[in-house]
Amino acid sequence: MSIELEATTRDQSLEVETPLLVVENLFKRYGKGCAHCLELTGPEQDTNHCRNCGALIACAEVNFEIYPGEVLGVVGESGSGKTTVLRCLYKDMEPTSGRAFLQAFDNGQTDIFQTNSQQTRYLQDFLMGMVRQNPAMGLRLHITAGGNIAERLLAADWRKVSEIRERSSGLLDRMEVPIKRMDDYPAFFSGGMQQRVQIAKALANQPVLILLDEMTTGLDVSVQAGVIDLVKEVQRESGVAIIVVSHDLGVIRLLSERTLVMKNGRIVESGLTDQIMEDPQHAYTQLLVSSTNY
Amino acid sequence: MNGFHLKVNNLSKHFLLHILKGKQVRAFEGVSFEIKPGEFMGIAGVSGSGKSSILKCIYGTYVASDGEIFYQPEQGQVRELTKDSARQLAGLRGHEIGFVSQFLRPLPRTTTQDLVANPLLQTGVAKAEARLQAQELLGRLGIGPELWDGYPVFFSGGEQQRVNIAQALIRRPRLLLLDEPTSALDTENQAVVVALLEEAKAAGVTMLGVFHDPALLQRLSDKVITLSRGKQVA
């Protein structure tokens, strides 16, 4: 049995394309901050710490857009601000300043960083899905796999038990989690299986945007290839847009068409993925690419 | 049609290597040419003369340092590719511009037929139909049904190269960039590939090709430019 993943907005015409998500000047600071924070941090200074006031700049001056049906990669070293960007978008944390507009939310008229709790719930439960690096954060490990997905469906106003059951089993099957394990607890699943349950959960409400945070880190290569392959297939079937955060260039190369490179909280370079890999422009990207064998 | 399909004007490419203390490496300099729709242009020159770099600049894999690349898409205005955004360049790939690289880059867990069908699937063609087209193309390139469900990582160099060609041809691009597509093939398989390229040319596909073999280059090309140490000499 396989499940049909209904297509969301898929726009092939390039000339008059509206971005799905526009992020403007996203800035996240821990600490009080001062007037010199921006000039004293960043890739040129090679630090995230403002030496004047001691504040930590997790990310700053982050601008990008993503189009319907696109897969956007974000690479960078640990502490470069990749996850912060995702968590701000998913409303896990409050950015210090900046704006973001999601086309599916109020036609892109309302800044998603300025929403009330009800709107935040709508964004998280209906429009976006997130897969976290640590399955313990993305799943309730002591609720069954099916229950994890059902919880999300309930949040999105699904009410019929039979329908919820059918949808969750279909999704788990699609993600190659054996149906007979549906009523087992994810705590007893292998890492790869937990990540697949997370992806099934993220897909459950047919979101317009899925955020993948280091979803294959810690998995062995064959399981990693399987998860990547499934994500690619599901993306193609449903046309959902995806932001993939990874420090693994191999994962980025396989999944994304365009890539952003981050260092010390700033985007230092963006472009076509093969351009980033074969003709990197920024010093950091050159170091990054020359350090791997991809 | 007002003339050209692709026009390259004074194109240059330097690599600035920050990790080698800002060392500059020149790929090529001041290259200009024009290709009419349906024409086959060859690029000749010894290894390291910058042939492939020109193709990569046009495809967007390299960022051109200087000069202009004008492209006439099937619909709409002439585009200047060096000024296009990454998103716009990505939109041209596949249907408008295809690239056959020297080496195949297999996808994990993907069989040969699915690898070739993959570009079609991305445009929304149904899986069965895409597979059928992939099988036909593979068959023509001498990759038999026994290999369709095999993984290309285990293939010989020549087989991989043919899979690579099939992958680029399946979308029927209007402009095909060929980076030594026959370098690993024996004469028999080379003839098969050449026949396929000639057929594509008869169907109106514009091509820009880099070949090592001068005889092959003469046979396929309507015109040839020659590079020497990154400069256009003829």
Q: What is the 3-state secondary structure (H, E, C) of B53-97?
A: HHHHHHHCCCCCCEEEEEECCCCCCCEEHHHCCHHHHHHHECCCE
The verdict on B15 touching A (C-beta cutoff 8 Å) is yes
CB pairs under 8 A between A and B: 58
**B211 token code pair:** 């070949």
pLDDT tens, residue by residue, B150-170 = 999 999 888 898 999 999 889
Nearest to B87 among A67, A226, A279 (CB): A67
**In this structure, what token pair is assigned to residue B57?**
């600049």
The answer to whether B19 contacts A226, with C-beta atoms less than 8 Å apart, is no
> Can you tell me the distance from the alpha carbon of A249 to that of A290, in angstroms, rounded to the nearest whole number?
11
Please tell me the distance in Å from B3's CA to the nearest CA on chain A. 23
Look at A283 and B15 and tell me if their CB atoms are within 8 Å.
no
User: Residue A182: what pLDDT?
Assistant: 93
Q: What pLDDT does residue B189 have? A: 86
Distance from CA of B18 to the nearest CA of A (A): 5
Contacts of B96 in chain A (CB under 8 A): none
The answer to whether B91 contacts chain A (CB < 8 Å) is: yes
Tell me the percentage of chain B whose pLDDT exceeds 70.
99
Chain B closest-CA separation from residue A70 CA (Å): 9
Contact A275 B63 (CB under 8 A): yes
Q: Backbone phi, then psi, for B27, in 5-degree steps? A: -90, -55
- Largest Cα–Cα separation, chain B: 53
Cα–Cα distance, B90 to B97 (Å, whole number)? 10
Quick check: A10 pLDDT over 80?
no
Which of the 8 DSSP states describes residue A19? P
Whole-number pLDDT of residue A16: 63
Query: Which residues are CB-contacts of B91 (< 8 A; sequence separation ≥ 6)?
Result: A14
d(CA A43, CA B28) in angstroms, rounded, equals 31
Q: Which long-range contacts (CB under 8 A, 24 or more apart) does A115-121 make?
A: A115/A91, A120/A91, A121/A155
According to the model, what pLDDT value does residue B73 have? 93
The pLDDT of residue A111 is above 90: yes
Sheet holding A266-272, edge to edge: A128-131, A209-213, A241-245, A71-76, A258-263, A266-272
Chain B residue with minimum CA distance to A238:
B124
Q: Which two tokens stand for residue A288?
A: 């990054």
DSSP one-letter code for A130? E
Residues from chain A that touch B127, judged by Cβ atoms under 8 A, are none
pLDDT confidence of A294, banded at 50, 70, 90?
Answer: low
The answer to whether the beta carbons of residues B182 and B211 sit under 8 Å apart is yes
Say what the pLDDT of residue A13 is.
43
CB A21, CB A65: distance < 8 Å: yes
Name the residue facing B19 among A15, A17, A283 (closest C-beta): A283
pLDDT value for B216: 87
Shortest CA distance from B59: residue in chain A: A275
A21 vs A10, A99, A163, CA distance in Å?
Answer: 14, 11, 31
Q: What is the nearest CA distance from B125 to chain A, expressed in angstroms?
A: 11
Interface mutation target, options B12, B61, B78, B127, chain A, most CBs of A under 10 Å: B61
The single-letter DSSP state of residue A125 is I
- Cβ atoms of A50 and A40 within 8 Å: the answer is yes
Task: Look at A270 and B121 and tell me if their CB atoms are within 8 Å.
Answer: no
**What pLDDT does B43 receive?**
93
State whether B63 and A67 contact (CB < 8 Å). Answer: no
- Residue B21 forms contact with A (CB below 8 Å): no
Q: Is the pLDDT of residue A29 over 60?
A: yes
Return residues 136-195 of B near A (CB < 8 Å): none
CA–CA distance, A176 with A199 (Å, rounded to integer)? 11
- Closest-CA distance, A78 to chain B, in angstroms, reads 20
Q: Provide the pLDDT for residue A9.
A: 38
**Averaged pLDDT of chain B:** 90
pLDDT score for B2: 60
Contact between B115 and B143 under an 8 Å Cβ cutoff? The reply is: no
Closest Cβ opposite residue A226 in set B18, B109, B124: B109
Contact B19 A15 (CB under 8 A): no
Which ipTM value was assigned to this complex? 0.89
Mean pLDDT, chain A, rounded, equals 89
What are the pLDDT digits (tens) for B138-151? 999 989 999 999 99
Q: What is the pLDDT of residues A185-226, one digit of tens each?
A: 999 999 889 999 999 999 898 999 999 999 888 788 888 888
Instruction: Tally the C-alpha atoms within 13 A of residue A170's C-alpha that lie toward its C-beta.
Output: 15
Q: What is the pLDDT of residues A216-254, one digit of tens each?
A: 887 888 888 888 888 888 888 888 999 999 988 889 999
Q: Are B117 and B134 in contact (CB under 8 A)?
A: yes
Instruction: Give exposure, B130-141, as e/b (b: 16+ Cβ within 10 Å).
Output: bbebbbebbebb
Q: Is B83 on the interface with A (CB under 8 A)?
A: no
pLDDT number for residue B86 = 93
Interatomic CA distance for residues A100 and A27, integer angstroms: 11
Mutation for testing the B interface, residue in A5, A10, A12, A14 having most B CBs under 10 Å: A14
| CA–CA dist A236, A273 (Å, integer) | 18
Is there a contact between A216 and A224 (Cβ–Cβ < 8 Å)? yes
Closest-CA distance, B43 to chain A, in angstroms, reads 21
Per-residue pLDDT for B135 more than 90? yes
Residue of A nearest to B18 (CA): A283
Q: For chain A, how far is it from start to end, CA to CA, in angstroms? A: 36
Express each pLDDT in B4-52 by its tens digit.
999 999 999 999 999 888 899 999 999 999 999 999 999 998 888 889 9
Of residues A228, A272, A283, nearest to B18 (C-beta): A283
Q: Which residue does chain B place closest to A19, by CA atoms?
A: B87
Cα distance from A266 to chain B (closest Cα, Å)?
Answer: 18
Contact at CB, A279 and B109, closer than 8 angstroms: no
Q: Looking at the partner chain, which of A10, A226, A258 has a beta carbon nearest the beta carbon of B90?
A: A258
pLDDT in tens, A64-91: 999 998 999 999 988 899 999 999 999 9
The CA distance from A270 to A144, in Å, is: 40
Name, in order, each residue with C-beta under 8 angstroms of A108's C-beta and a sequence gap of 6 or more.
A18, A22, A101, A102
Q: Can you tell me the mean pLDDT for B78-94?
A: 91
The yes-or-no verdict on residue A60 having pLDDT over 90 is: yes
| Nearest-neighbour CA in chain B from A286: distance (Å) | 7
Is A279's CB within 8 Å of B18's CB? no
Give CA–CA dist B160/A92, Å, rounded: 46
